[in-house]
Structure 1
Amino acid sequence: MNIPSLRAVSLVAVSFLFAAALPGCNDEVGSDEQARRAYLGLDKSVEKSLQLGFAGFNAATSANIPAQTANGDASGTLTITGQVDQGSSSNKGMRLRVGMATYSDGEVTPAEGEEPVEITYQTVTDTTMQPELTLSLRNIPNGTFTGTLVGTFQMDGELEGEVTLNLTMSGQIEDDGTGKVRRKAGSTTITGTAKSGGDGEFQVNVTL
């Protein structure tokens, strides 16, 4: 599934500011610089997770959405499962889980002049323990949404260990022209943190 990325803020540009003040890293996630790189490898997957969540919302015929899957740009899969509120209300919630299996979007260049890194991500297979994506839709179809993405991802490759996301998001939703609901491109703000298993932390602030 090919999902285009729409950025109002360039993560590469933001990352360059961090790179100027932070040293390089070794193979273990344990510094702000390493947490920054760990997030950049996951960045595309956040947007993909949102799009898959909305696809599941539109496809649902019961409380459980059909599993929605996308490939990593380089390897592996991203799978969204979970539940959505039923009924005729214009306000609905989704309680979703984010699963990854040897997932990678390929090489990421953290900032100008830095060496690219490639990281592979994995989650536990037990869906009740996977990272949680919670979305609240208001005034469907042409309204707003808020949400959170919280959970831990295992890493392999040029960084090893774990990275934990704690993100908050908000934006607008719209009718896609066929009666289904989609996220309005360019309206979504995502903020929060990516933390290492130790004391490393990266402040996330992007617009999709």
Structure 2
Amino acid sequence: MKFIVAKAKLVIFLKDLYRIWFPWLDLAILAFIYSFIWGEYINPYRQYQLIVYGKTAVGKISGEDGLYAYSDYPRTRDFTYTFSLPNGKTIKSSAHAFSIDEVESMNKNFPVTATISYLPDQPTINWVKSNLPSDLNELFKRTLIGGTSFFLISYLFIMVIFRLSILEHREKKRMKKLEESGYTILELPKFLMN
């Protein structure tokens, strides 16, 4: 009997949660976060391309740029760098990362020499090699399984709490309307409700 009651309560709870679950909003938020975290060029597909097809060149990291330049806090920063192609053309780019091994080991004394991985047919797609997964196995484990799982679980947890607070707010609003209409709301102990 208790199992049936618990199951009925769970079904009612999920129906209430579903009423305020906006899948289109979730997709929009996830797309925004995806574009913010990985940016236009260094998403998992670009990482795959750089690991499989990338060439390397020696470059110089000239410094930090962006909102968190020279910050000691563990926030994502932009590192600007340049490197030369075999034909002599110089490419200026930036890496969006928490840290880069070459910079951390040199205590931010710029410029710092670094190996840059780039696509030969599209050299504007590039990344500091030490910041890329070393092989496809690491890319799969670290980015696609580890990173995505952590991100989705965190997102789900935050959204459930957010939506439960919406339900609680709606319930308080409903109770207030009932009180304003002249109804008396009583809370009975559980043993009297059976």
Q: Shorter-chain TM-score: what band?
A: under 0.3
TM-score (norm. length: structure 2): 0.24
RCO comparison, higher one (Cα < 8 Å, 6+):
1
The higher radius of gyration belongs to 2
The structure carrying a bigger helix percent of its residues is: 2
TM-score (norm. length: structure 1): 0.23
